[in-house]
């Protein structure tokens, strides 16, 4: 393991239940972590892949203080991976017609509420992209998970969306990607009663240079997302008439089961 593959994360003060981690400006690539509880403990864990972190020996440290103890974690963790196709959360369940009808119906009934929550986190998300994601969920039988919780769905769909291009506050192009921590390998893990709430992260990247999608080299910062579990009880949000119409036309076609839309996960 070289120093170049080590990474360091600094943690900004907590605001509103979320935590932002910024790249050390001197590292350029990769973001890291200052210890699971903010302390520079010798053995803490990466917040994203949950892998063990180890302190970089003082003589090699430079800008980097911690790295994954395991090379496998280093290779697959979104904070350090050199792959632009990191392991995705899986969605695969036996189709259950009854549950599908009930749970998909409940989602569709409040789709614009879900959309508003997604749009707050990813403002460039269009209704058309939402429709692709619903089509993908249809094919993967997301609606057939018995433990499915409706208030998790905006976040689950954002994770399934993969990279989302977005214009930053200064007019610059950034790429967003959402991921749960590694305790969620399959979406069903989210609905296992384990007593702990998996964290959701928003990753923000610079545009990729040598790859079709960003890798950890382009990671600017990542933030834990505070999840709203009460949005379904709120008022019906205002949505552009054209968007509502497009969504209704999509609904009139019914659930897709034949083929997955190929661009569900691309910007």
Interacting residues toward Zn ion by CB under 5 A: 46, 48-49, 51, 77, 79
Give the residue from 59, 49, 62, 51 showing the smallest Cα distance to 7: 62
By beta-carbon proximity to Zn ion, the closer residue of 190 and 203 is 203
Q: How far is the CB of 32 from Zn ion (least distance, A)?
A: 9
- Asked whether the beta carbons of 206 and 223 are under 8 A apart, the reply is no
Q: How far is the CB of 85 from Zn ion (least distance, A)?
A: 17
Q: How far is the CB of 56 from Zn ion (least distance, A)?
A: 15
**DSSP H stretches of helix in 51-182:** 58-61, 71-76, 97-109, 111-121, 127-140, 153-161
By beta-carbon proximity to Zn ion, the closer residue of 49 and 164 is 49
* Phi (first) and psi of residue 188, to 5 degrees: -60, -25
By beta-carbon proximity to Zn ion, the closer residue of 50 and 244 is 50
By beta-carbon proximity to Zn ion, the closer residue of 7 and 116 is 7
Q: How far is the CB of 6 from Zn ion (least distance, A)?
A: 12
**Rounded distance, CA 233 to CA 142, Å?**
22
**146 Rama class: left (phi>0) / alpha (psi -120 to 50) / beta:** alpha
């Amino acid at each position: 393991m070289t120093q170049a593959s080590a990474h360091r994360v600094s943690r900004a003060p907590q605001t509103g239940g979320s935590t932002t981690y910024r790249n050390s400006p001197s590292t350029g690539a990769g973001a890291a972590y200052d210890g699971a509880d903010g302390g520079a403990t010798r053995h803490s864990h990466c917040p994203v892949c949950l892998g063990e972190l180890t302190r970089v020996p003082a003589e090699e440290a430079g800008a980097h203080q911690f790295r994954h103890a395991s090379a496998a974690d280093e290779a697959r963790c979104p904070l350090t991976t050199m792959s632009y196709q990191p392991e995705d959360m899986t969605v695969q369940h036996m189709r259950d017609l009854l549950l599908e009808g009930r749970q998909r119906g409940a989602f569709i009934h409040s789709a614009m509420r879900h959309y508003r929550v997604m749009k707050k986190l990813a403002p460039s998300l269009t209704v058309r992209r939402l429709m692709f994601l619903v089509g993908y969920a249809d094919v993967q039988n997301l609606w057939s998970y018995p433990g499915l919780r409706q208030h998790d769905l905006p976040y689950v769909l954002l994770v399934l969306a993969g990279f989302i291009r977005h214009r930053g506050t200064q007019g610059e192009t950034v790429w967003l990607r959402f991921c749960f921590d590694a305790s969620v390998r399959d979406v069903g893990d989210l609905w296992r009663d384990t007593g702990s709430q998996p964290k959701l992260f928003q990753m923000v990247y610079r545009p990729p240079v040598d790859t079709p999608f960003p890798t950890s080299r382009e990671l600017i910062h990542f933030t834990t997302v505070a999840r709203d579990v009460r949005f379904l009880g709120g008022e019906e949000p205002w949505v552009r008439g054209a968007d509502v119409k497009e969504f209704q036309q999509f609904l009139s076609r019914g659930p897709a089961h034949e083929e997955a839309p190929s661009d569900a996960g691309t910007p």
